[in-house]
């Protein structure tokens, strides 16, 4: 879980960075995230990205009122035009309906990515894509509602505790975050800037816990 929070911190920081520059990625998924030799995550592949034009874009906040959308180097087009690039499993329901492009769509994709980072499972694996799209839009279906993951969680609950309360708390908080990210209402999803600050704080907290545990182990070894 420590590594998961570290990777999430890197990805949310990258997303916050591009949103401050009025870019939306529109294809955020694990396949477009690379891990460097120094164990840091980098966001890649901006082939689907679009530039937002707005009169109310606060550089200190990722919330925007989208007036139009512009591809980098291209001509502006009106917001709300359907866009079918990217991968459906990670695409926000409002975009599947042909709705407005906004930073909140990236946050939805981030939620599915964070879920996959924790579960090590592919979202909606083995299901028909047309059925998935309908279920996501009409019934608010999400990856962790799949029977396979429910069985995996049920099996995990039957196992004896493997971690202490310090490790369990971040795990619960992490789950709450990715579920907030994929809320059907784009207006209530957290911004990338908020998530970046949150994961940065948790990363520092967990690093401190890890260092303390290491010191305790070293002390025991010396006795």
Residue 88 scores a pLDDT above 50:
yes
> Which has the closest alpha carbon to 92: 81, 82, 104, 80?
104
Residue 218 lies in a domain: no
Residue 209 lies in a domain: no
108-128 core/surface letters (b: 16 or more CB in 10 A; e: else):
bbbbbbbbbbbbeeebbeeee
Q: Which residue is catalytic, options 27, 62, 106, 141?
A: 27
Domain count, the chain: 1
> Which has the closest alpha carbon to 105: 61, 48, 42, 171?
48
Residue 81 lies in a domain: yes
- What sign has the CA pseudo-torsion 124, 127, 130, 135? negative
Over the stretch 104-146, which tens digit does the pLDDT of each residue have?
999 999 999 999 988 888 999 888 989 999 999 999 999 975 5
pTM across the whole model: 0.75
Give 95's contacts (C-beta < 8 A, 6+ positions apart).
26, 82, 83, 101, 105
Cα–Cα distance for residue pair 136/161, rounded to 1 Å? 34
Cα–Cα distance for residue pair 9/198, rounded to 1 Å? 8
Residue 143 lies in a domain: yes
Q: What is the dihedral of CA 151, 109, 20, 176, to 10 degrees?
A: -20
Residue 223 lies in a domain: no
Which structural domain, as residue segments, surrounds residue 72?
2-148+155-199
Residue 40 lies in a domain: yes
Q: How many residues does the chain have?
A: 223
Cα–Cα distance for residue pair 205/182, rounded to 1 Å? 25
Q: What is the DSSP letter of 161?
A: P
Residue 73 scores a pLDDT above 60:
no
Residue 190 lies in a domain: yes
Mean confidence (pLDDT) of the chain: 76
First CA to last CA across the chain, in angstroms?
A: 30
Over the stretch 9-62, which tens digit does the pLDDT of each residue have?
999 999 999 999 999 999 999 999 999 999 999 999 999 999 987 643 444 444
Residue 164 lies in a domain: yes
> Which has the closest alpha carbon to 70: 54, 50, 84, 85?
50
- Note if 27 is an active site residue: yes
Say which residue, 140 or 202, is predicted with more confidence.
Answer: 140
Residue 175 scores a pLDDT above 80:
yes
CATH of the domain at 23: 1.10.510.10
């Amino acid at each position: 879980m420590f590594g998961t929070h570290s990777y999430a911190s890197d990805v949310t920081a990258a997303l916050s960075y591009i949103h401050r520059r009025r870019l939306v990625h529109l294809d955020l998924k694990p396949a477009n995230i690379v891990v460097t030799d120094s164990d840091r995550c980098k966001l890649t592949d901006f082939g689907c990205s679009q530039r937002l034009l707005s009169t109310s874009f606060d550089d200190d906040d990722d919330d925007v009122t989208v007036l139009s959308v512009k591809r980098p180097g291209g001509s502006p087009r009106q917001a709300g035009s359907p866009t079918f690039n990217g991968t459906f499993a990670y695409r926000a329901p409002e975009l599947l309906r042909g709705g407005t492009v906004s930073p909140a769509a990236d946050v939805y994709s981030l939620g599915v990515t964070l879920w996959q980072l924790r579960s090590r499972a592919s979202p909606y694996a083995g299901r028909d894509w047309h059925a998935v799209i309908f279920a996501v839009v009409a019934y608010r279906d999400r990856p962790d509602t799949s029977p396979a993951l429910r069985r995996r969680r049920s099996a995990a609950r039957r196992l004896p505790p493997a971690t202490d309360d310090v490790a369990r708390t971040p795990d619960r908080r992490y789950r709450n975050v990715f579920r907030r990210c994929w809320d059907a209402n784009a207006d209530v999803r957290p911004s990338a800037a908020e998530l970046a600050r949150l994961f940065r704080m948790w990363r520092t907290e967990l690093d401190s816990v890890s260092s303390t545990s290491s010191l305790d182990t070293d002390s025991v070894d010396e006795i």
